[in-house]
Chain A
Amino acid sequence: MLKKNDVAPDFTLFATPDQKITLSEFKGKNVILAFYPADWSPVCSDQMALYNEMQKYFKKYDATIFGISVDSKWCHMAFSQSRNLHFPLLADFEPKGDTSKKYGVYNEKEGECNRALFIIDKEGIIQWSYLSPMAINPGADGILEALEKL
């Protein structure tokens, strides 16, 4: 798993059925990458639902958040609509898990991403990373602390 001071590997992934997002286009902004195992986990303790409530806190630190899982763009679209999400979910779908592997957070056994967080600074350097136990939603306190330190 990549760590502080590593260069964040660039990627281009589908964010909607007809739109792709490239990480390097976000240079000049802080970026939060939240790798998570799968869409449709139980509602109220859902990690993405929590981050959805936190957009204004992330904005305070000039940070943009992307969720990433191996689910397809269509699956992401349905999930995002059902939870009224206001930030992009990226599909690490083809080749499967390619981006997760570059960040060292792909779980071969499950065929899913691990639950991992990265904070990338405005120059594209990883400033913080965190691997959470698969079943535990890591919350957002770690993210805010790391953003505070940038």
Chain B
Amino acid sequence: MSLKPAVSKTDHIQGKKDASIVIVEYGDYQCPYCGAAYPVLKEMMTKYGKQIKFIFRNFPLSEMHQYARPAAIVAEAAALQGKFWEMHDAIYENQRLLNEPFLLELVEKLELDPHQFNVDIKKSELATKVDSDFESGILSGVNGTPSFFVNGRKFNAGAEDLLQLMSEIVK
């Protein structure tokens, strides 16, 4: 199964811009397995961030996790102020506190412009971005969260295995 569509400018990207190893995660902010994967991925980027590229795409299982989609939309709103990864990290680092008031606390804590945030959060583009990420996940064969892709191909294992793989292939 391969990644559709390929990584592009509309994605949230960290690490080395023109890396030859590109990892995509489809994640849900309320999913406990994604929460468990977070520190492992963080370690991976600390170790190999200068050599690899990491992308996060939204895959909220909204029926099961009531705050997953609101969290995804808030992170997209933070992205409009250049703070996507700060919000992404803050949510995963406090996953057990996740609810709507807490998301607003994070908006304040990360010093987003509150007026701009209130305007942005109502924009339909944010929801469209989350939906199109979800749809791309479905078409790419995502079957649960987190799901990883390495250079466009589905990686059928967890974050620990991914870290292990990087330790073997990153030079």
Report if A and B associate in a common complex.
yes
- Is B64 in the interface zone, CB < 8 Å from A? yes
Say what secondary structure dominates the interface of chain A: loop
Cβ of B138 < 8 Å from any Cβ of A? yes
> Does B28 reach chain A (CB closer than 8 Å)?
yes
Most buried by B among A43, A47, A139: A139
Interchain nearest-CB distance for B140 vs A (Å)? 7
Q: Which of the residues A57, A84, A140 comes within 8 Å of B64, measured between beta carbons? A: A84
When distances are taken between beta carbons in the complex, the residues of chain B under 8 Å from A46 are 144
Query: Are B143 and A138 within 8 A (Cβ)?
Result: yes
Complex interface: chain B residues within 8 A of A22 (CB): none
**Chain B interface main SS type:** loop
Kindly state the separation between the CA atoms of A22 and B34 in the bound complex, as whole angstroms. Answer: 39
The listed residue (B1, B34, B145, B156) touching A141 by CB distance below 8 A is B1
Q: How far is the CB of A79 from chain B (nearest CB, A)?
A: 12
Cα separation A137 to B142 with both chains bound (whole Å):
9
Please state if B63 and A139 are interface contacts (CB–CB under 8 Å).
no
Q: Closest CB-CB distance, B134 to chain A, in whole Å?
A: 7
B62 within 8 A of A: yes
Q: Which residues of A contact B (CB under 8 A)?
A: 43-47, 49-50, 52-54, 57, 83-86, 136-141, 144
